[in-house]
């Protein structure tokens, strides 16, 4: 409990749906969020968000949507579902609650990985020869994260290298985590043929961009076909990365 917010268990959406399993960090005023943590990410773009690392726990952050963002829609339903599925997911940390202002959702409580670097920026700043592990290890880590969710019927569509964080840039075995869970980018239960094609296309494009940043080429990950699978993609990653 704080003078600025109250932690409540459960949330009732504007349409009357009640979610018992949602943690609700309830503020009276949006501007009070800035008083409980360090600003670690800010964007002026209307559809982006601002992130505050909390003073009380450096492993927790509050992701606050900019006022014109529509990202908050269905956050309650999304986080309720992800909370139920978290017990089966070992490689990914889902959002742990919602942030509200006078009952309206304005953001998410998320896990914060202090000192981590997104995979996209690593490729632009670090020559692959200076990595303590082969670049393929990064791609396989991404693949394992996505496959675990996929096998549990959680389809993370926002496959973009900036949404995967390397927690230990100087260690020999990379630890990677996915971030940025928005309702419009998470599907459940079933993935149709066209959406499945989009999923693997996004994955291939992301790996190829990072590869190019490292000065590498993966000639095998150049197109999607109806036989694309995690197993086939792993094989291509292991055999297709070559120096330019």
> Which regions of the chain carry the CATH code 3.30.200.20?
5-111
Pairing of strands 216-218, 241-243: antiparallel
Give dist(CA 36, CA 4) in Å, integer: 8
Please give the class, per CATH, of domain 117-243.
mainly alpha
What are residue 158's phi and psi, to 5 degrees?
A: -85, 55
Helices 193-214, 230-240: crossing angle, 10 deg rounding: 20
- CA dihedral sign of residues 195, 196, 197, 201: positive
Q: Which CATH number among 3.30.420.10, 3.40.50.1370, 3.30.200.20, 1.20.1440.230 corresponds to the domain 5-111?
A: 3.30.200.20
**Res. 209: pLDDT tops 50:** yes
Q: Is the pLDDT of residue 63 over 90?
A: yes
Domain with CATH 1.10.510 in the chain: 117-243
Could you tell me the pTM of the whole model? 0.90
**134-187: per-residue pLDDT in tens?**
888 989 999 999 999 999 999 999 999 899 999 988 888 999 999 999 999 999
């Amino acid at each position: 409990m704080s003078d600025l917010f109250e932690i409540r268990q459960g949330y009732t959406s504007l349409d009357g749906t009640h979610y018992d399993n949602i943690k609700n960090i309830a503020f009276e005023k949006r501007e009070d969020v800035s008083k409980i943590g360090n600003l670690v990410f800010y964007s002026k773009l209307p559809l982006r968000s601002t992130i505050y690392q909390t003073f009380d726990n450096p492993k927790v952050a509050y992701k606050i949507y900019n006022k014109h963002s529509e990202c908050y829609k269905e956050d309650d339903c999304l986080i309720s579902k992800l909370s139920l599925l978290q017990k089966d997911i070992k490689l990914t940390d889902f959002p742990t609650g919602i942030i509200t202002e006078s009952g309206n959702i304005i953001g998410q409580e998320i896990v914060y990985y202090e000192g981590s670097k997104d995979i996209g920026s690593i490729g632009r700043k670090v020559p692959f020869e200076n990595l303590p592990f082969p670049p393929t290890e990064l791609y396989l880590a991404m693949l394992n994260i996505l496959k675990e969710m996929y096998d549990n019927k959680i389809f993370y569509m926002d496959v973009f290298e900036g949404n995967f964080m390397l927690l230990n840039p100087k260690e020999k075995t990379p630890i990677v985590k996915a971030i940025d869970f928005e309702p419009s980018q998470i599907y459940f239960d079933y993935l149709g043929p066209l959406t499945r094609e989009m999923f693997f296309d996004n994955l291939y494009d992301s790996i190829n961009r990072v590869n190019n940043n490292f000065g590498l080429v993966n000639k095998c990950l150049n197109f999607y076909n109806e036989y694309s699978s995690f197993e086939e993609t792993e094989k291509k990653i292991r055999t297709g990365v070559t120096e330019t």
